[in-house]
Amino acid sequence: MKQLFTICLLIIASQVFSQNNAINSLQQRLVQAKGTEKIPELNNLAKTYRNVDPNKSVAVGRKALKYINNDDISKVFSLINIGILYSEAGMGKKSIPYLLFDSTKKDEHYINRAVFMFDSLNIDEGEIASLNSLATLLIRKHEFAKLPNIINKITILLTKEKDSYVAMNSYRLLSDYYANKGDYKKSNGYLKKWVTVHDSILNKKNRYALDEFQVIYKTEKKDQEKKTQEAAINDKDLKLRYSLAGAGGILAVLILIATLYWGKNEANKQLVSQSLNVVGKTQYENDKMNHPTNHQTIDKELKKHIINALDKQIGTKVYLKSGLAIKELAEKCDTNRSYLSQMIHEKYQMNFNNFINKYRIEEAKRLLIEPGNVIPLKALHERLGFSSYTRFHEAFKKYTGVTPSFFLKTIKEL
């Protein structure tokens, strides 16, 4: 326990030292910079002060505007930065008395100026970041009436956005927005995109960190070998140093793996929570498939008869029958397989197998969240009508984004 406490203190001390080092370094670079060279240094210094001293953070951010021409794109990003600083300072992190000297909404004012400049300069690059900031700000203030136009702009610009971090923030913002509106289908779709980009960024960071570690390790190893030869270090000391270097390397890799796992685990928990919102409200998404090109003409009365018969069969949970084939279901609906297949395509935009599996997975989620559920996962597929646990596992992950075991584990933790 003492060792753990000591490690925590060392980590905190290291973070404080690193932050102070960064501030000192930026201040030195600011002194050396001239004219417009001061702009990026002032913006970076303002961001670094964000959690340390909000007063200085805002004041330093505003200084950057003095070095920028009105038509300079740098001014746009400085305005966004100042708006975010005002927002964070005024939303509970630390109060800044002079922020409230009048009734103006300084945070929204600066971000709106940035959006206006993007429009006047006719520049797409970076505009979505300012719109994300403005939307987040309005959500914090519960000013939801202003959101729809901004959300539409973000959705349009997102199709051309190349920055992974900006895209990730946009997907999360859109997911939260549609979840608050009750549109869980769109919310879940954007959440899945967020998870994909989030995982991609984590993987890139992991690869970069591992490459950097290998370079450092090889450099240190060569230096150590050179020093060993020059100083004629004995074998015993040499083995000890290599052991420590190896242990440090293993620890670094384990930390990287743990960080990556934690990030992915949190993202998957979001998918489970989102999935719980739609249990019992089956929403059909368009699965990728080949739609038939030889549809037959079916009169309205026959269509109505087939749909009513199909709904009745679904109400009896016919989809839980193992080995259920479209021919068998068609006979139960008093029609032929061609007509039934065509009606499933027209109403639910999916083929027969996906249609049946969708209902089976909804039933699986319902069973798993029931209090006192004691059905083993390995036995659940038989009750749902799947021919094997492997097929059940694949279908579950396809429609929920997570494995059955992870879903069950998360449910127990909620």
Query: What's the pLDDT tens digit per position in 27-83?
Result: 788 788 877 777 777 778 777 776 667 677 777 777 776 666 655 555 556 666 666
**First CA to last CA distance, the chain:** 29
d(CA 251, CA 345): 54
pLDDT tens digits for range 347-367 = 999 999 999 999 999 999 998
Instruction: Look at residue 291 in the predicted model and tell me its pLDDT.
Output: 47
Distances (CA, A) of 124 to 59, 80, 119, 120: 28, 15, 8, 11
Instruction: Look at residue 97 in the predicted model and tell me its pLDDT.
Output: 40
Domain 300-408: which topology? Arc Repressor Mutant, subunit A (1.10.10)
d(CA 169, CA 120): 25
pLDDT tens digits for range 103-142 = 346 666 766 766 666 556 555 556 777 788 778 877 876 7
pLDDT tens digits for range 157-214 = 888 777 888 888 888 888 988 888 888 888 888 898 889 888 888 888 777 667 776 7
Angle between helices 73-88 and 127-140 in degrees, nearest 10? 20
Cβ pair 129, 79 in contact under 8 A: no
Q: Which of 94-108, 169-183, 387-401 has the highest mean pLDDT?
A: 387-401
Signed CA dihedral, 329, 332, 337, 341: sign only: negative
Cβ pair 345, 291 in contact under 8 A: yes
Instruction: Judge whether residue 150 has pLDDT over 80.
Output: yes
Instruction: Look at residue 5 in the predicted model and tell me its pLDDT.
Output: 63
Q: Of 29, 35, 41, nearest to 66 (Cα)?
A: 35
Angle at CA of residue 36, ends 32 and 37, nearest 5°: 35
pLDDT tens digits for range 329-352 = 999 999 999 999 999 999 999 999
Confidence band for 101, pLDDT divided at 50, 70 and 90: very low
Distances (CA, A) of 310 to 144, 316, 326, 339: 41, 10, 11, 12
Instruction: Look at residue 45 in the predicted model and tell me its pLDDT.
Output: 77
Look up the CATH architecture of domain 22-162. Answer: Alpha Horseshoe (1.25)
Instruction: Look at residue 201 in the predicted model and tell me its pLDDT.
Output: 87
Compare 391 and 225 and report the one with higher pLDDT.
Answer: 391
Instruction: Look at residue 200 in the predicted model and tell me its pLDDT.
Output: 85
8-state DSSP, 98: G
Instruction: Look at residue 395 in the predicted model and tell me its pLDDT.
Output: 94
Give the mean pLDDT of 149-156: 86
Provide CB contacts within 8 A for 149, sequence distance 6+.
none
pLDDT tens digits for range 268-322 = 666 666 666 655 554 444 444 444 445 678 889 999 999 999 999 999 999 999 9
User: pTM of this prediction?
Assistant: 0.41
Provide CB contacts within 8 A for 112, sequence distance 6+.
134
